[in-house]
Amino acid sequence: MSCRALVGAGVVLLSCASLGSSAWGAPATAALTVRHGRAIHVAIGGRTEEAFALRGVPGGWKLELAGATSGAATGGVLVVRDVTLGATGPRTFELPLAPGIIVLDDGRFRADHAYRVELRRGTVVVGGALIYLQPLKQRGPVVFDDREAVAPATPPSDELRTTDKGSL
């Protein structure tokens, strides 16, 4: 089965050429519109696909789907599957769809991983997208390990000294 992802105006569309089925074996689905995500390319299984990068916030990542989380769209389930090569632990999560923003907590989801997201109502897949969870930017002091933290054993001196520069 050959699949390709197309991105246009903030929409990810996964189109497959094998009997109208998606990569998960379900009928081809519409694209989900991901708000506040940056369009990027990710390599999965030896091929490049377009995805949305979500910025990390303290405690996880905020996923906002345009139109999918409105009051009329509640009652569905968001299936999130880790598609990162070599990922360990649980790989598939089902989150109940509620109005507003869905928080992907850092207890279950991992930074620097790609996830395939499907919106399901009952057994019907309504839409899908590919997301990448960016690591949270570390701000603050840089901490070195013990090898780099050891300073030379010279006592501090308050007096001025000359230093030999060698031959210039």
- pLDDT tens figures, 43-75: 888 889 889 999 988 889 999 887 655 444 567
Q: What is the pLDDT of residue 7?
A: 39
pLDDT band of residue 159 (cuts 50, 70, 90) is confident
pLDDT band of residue 23 (cuts 50, 70, 90) is very low
| pLDDT tens digits, one per residue of 84-125 | 988 888 899 999 887 778 889 989 999 999 999 998 888 888
Handedness of CA 146, 149, 151, 157 (dihedral sign): negative
Tokens at 150, concatenated? 């050891």
CATH topology of domain 32-139: Immunoglobulin-like (2.60.40)
Q: Which of 16, 53, 31, 2 is nearest to 129 (CA)?
A: 31
Q: How many CA atoms lie within 13 A of 92 on its CB side?
A: 4
Q: What is the pLDDT of residue 22?
A: 41
CA angle 129, 31, 112 (to 5 degrees): 15
- Say if CB 115 and CB 131 are below 8 A apart: yes
Backbone phi and psi for residue 143, each to the nearest 5 degrees, phi listed first:
-110, 130
Residues in the chain: 168
Q: Which sequence spans correspond to the domains of the chain?
A: 32-139
- Say if CB 123 and CB 77 are below 8 A apart: no
Q: What is the pLDDT of residue 16?
A: 35
